Every structure is written in structure tokens, then in C-alpha cells.
Amino acid sequence: MRVVRAFAIAVGMNSNAAISIDHLSKTYEGGKQALDDVSFDVAQGSIFGLLGPNGAGKSTLINILAGMVRKSSGHASIWGFDIDSNPRNAKASIGIVPQEIMFDPFFTPREAMEQQAGLYGVPKSKRRTMELLSAVRLDDKADAYSRTLSGGMKRRLLVAKAMVHSPPVIVLDEPTAGVDIELRQQLWEYVQHLNKQGVTVVLTTHYLEEAEELCDEIAIINHGKLIAKKPTLELVGMAREKAVLLTLDRDVSDAPSHEAFEKVELVSDRTVEITYNKDRMNAGEILSAMQGLGLGIVDVTTKEADLEDVFLSLTSGSAE
């Protein structure tokens, strides 16, 4: 990793950009435009979320970075190396964990790791096969046939294979799909460990709570276009609607009505949920409005907007 990093600095990379995407477009044969003039940078040392509905263009972008799909126009660089003019160093700077689980069923994890290291030209003296298998908790399965591994184990093996050449950037495409909660937690612990060591992580996931918890910054792609790219907290803050759950001092048969309420739902005889625009009023004003209607309030619970709210508002309607 240190050799790649030193060379990248020597060729004048932006010290803050691990990946740089510049006006990237891709149109497949038949006219399907998967990417439409996408531009953004991924900060070095960050955990970066790449989100979007199915068919939005995420996998196409990842496959372009991996060298598996040829872009139609624009530029992309990884760790300062242009994917066209310097493909060898660009590929050496990135590890890809694909969405699909692909293995030779007759290879053991140890053999799969050794083969992957050989493909990247890693000398035998510098290979870290057992270290990486231990890191993803597969050292006890090192000599078992890959076909005997569970789905979660296979996903973890994919992560280990992506790290055999010690790339400074790793891309995980839906790494926890089909993985149980315990294994997801183990995988994220390892990803966060890699990030603390300086590895830049790019993550695509359908589990929005994961992106909200893990990512420093998030980009959202829809219909091949970049529609948002902000720090995670700022993106979550884009949600304008907020809800407050009120427990009343007596039963009510009808939901209370007020011009300031965006939506009112009677949850039970004494519980009402009120949705309001936080740009127009605050929770205190909601309480005052309820008291003005002659209703006493016993308990108050606020519900903050989360990334899912923002995601749904920005991507309303699925990708074509």
C-alpha cells in the first residue's frame, strides 16, 4: 500500500481524493443510458456511501472503476491514477467486493486467496493469506472446500480476497445482502477496522440504517444522475417533515385538526401522531396548538427524520 501511495503523490494526485469521477457517462448498446454526466470525489480515508434504487447506475459505476465496463465519456481516477492512461496502477489501488458470490467450489479459502494474490503479482513472501482469513474469522475454514461455506462466510471471503494486494481503496457492493445480523455486525467491525488503518471504503447498500451509521458522506444516484452528495448528517437534515407522538389526558374519538398540522393520525384513543414541517413551526408550537384545542398532554415523543425519509423523497419513483 505504501508503494502505491508514494507513487500516487509523486504523480500529483489530489491529497483529499481517493476516487475522482469527472463527467462520467455510460450508454449501453440499444440506447440504455446507465450513467449521465456524473461527477464527484471520494475523500481519502472516508467511508463513502453510494446509494440509489435498483437500476440507478451504481453497479455500472463500480464496474467502470473495476475495469469491467468501458465508459462512454468522462474521466475517472483511483488514488490519482487515471483508469484509461494508467489502468495497471488504478486497478492495483482498488479492491472490489462484488455483489454476486462467485467461487470455484473445489478451491479452499486458502487456495482462493493464494490464487488471487498471484493474479495481482504479490510475492509469496509478502502474502498475508492466513492473516486476512483470520481477520474475517475464516482461519478455521482455511482448508475446507468453498462449496461447504455458508453464504455469510462466502461474503467474508470475498472481502478478504479484495484485500490480498493491500489496496488503499476498497469497494463493497451490497456486502451484507442475505447475511444474518450477527455476521453483518462482524463484517462492519472489520470494515471499520480497515478504515481506521487508512483504507478508504466505498459502500453500496439497501440497508439505509447501515449507511446512516457508517458513512461519513453519501452520494445518491437515480436514473443515472447524481441527485445528492452531502455529509451524512447534512443529508439527513434535508428531511423537512418531523413527527411528534402525543399521549393525551383523556380519550378522543376524532383526530384533532389544526391548520399547522401536515398530517394527523389517531394511533389509539389517547395517542395521536402529528406530522409537521419543521421549517414552519417547532414542537413547542405544536403543544401550544393542542392545548388551544382544549387537550391536555401527558407524554411527548418526537420522531426525527432519518436517511430513509430523505432517500425516498429524493428518489420518488423507481429507476427505469
Same domain, 43 and 78: yes
Cell 462520467 locates to 24
Mean pLDDT of 173-177: 81
Same domain, 10 and 70: yes
More confident residue, 9 or 206: 206
Mean pLDDT of 81-96: 95
Domain final residue, candidates 204, 236, 268: 236
What's the pLDDT score for residue 240?
63
Q: Is residue 112 part of a domain?
A: no
Same domain, 21 and 89: yes
Domain final residue, candidates 218, 236, 254: 236
Same domain, 59 and 86: yes
Same domain, 9 and 56: yes
Domain final residue, candidates 215, 236, 257: 236
Same domain, 282 and 200: no
First to last CA, the chain: 39
Q: Is residue 154 part of a domain?
A: no
**Torsion angle defined by CA atoms of residues 271, 311, 318 and 50, in that order, rounded to the nearest 10 degrees:** -150
Position 52, amino acid: G
Same domain, 230 and 173: yes
| Range name among 89-93, 149-153, 190-194 with the lowest pLDDT average | 149-153
Mean pLDDT of 125-135: 94
Give bridge partners of residue 86 from the DSSP assignment: none
**Nearest CA-CA partner of 89 in 180, 7, 208, 184:** 7
Would you state the cell numbers that stand for residue 224, as one nine-digit string?
A: 443515472
Same domain, 21 and 49: yes
Beta strands 241-248; 271-277: pairing state: antiparallel
Expressed as residue numbers, the domain containing 295 is 241-304
Q: Work out the pLDDT band at 318, boundaries 50, 70, 90.
A: very low
Number of independent structural domains in the chain:
2
CA 304 to chain centre: 21
Average pLDDT, the chain: 85
**Cβ atoms of 187 and 150 closer than 8 Å:** no
Question: Tell me: the pLDDT tens digits for 251-304?
Answer: 888 888 887 787 888 888 889 888 877 777 777 888 888 888 888 888 888 776
d(Cα 6, Cα 221) in Å, to the nearest integer?
32
| Range name among 30-44, 53-67, 177-191 with the lowest pLDDT average | 177-191
User: CATH code at 232?
Assistant: 3.40.50.300
More confident residue, 175 or 107: 107
Q: Is residue 42 part of a domain?
A: yes
Q: Is residue 119 part of a domain?
A: no
Q: Is residue 67 part of a domain?
A: yes
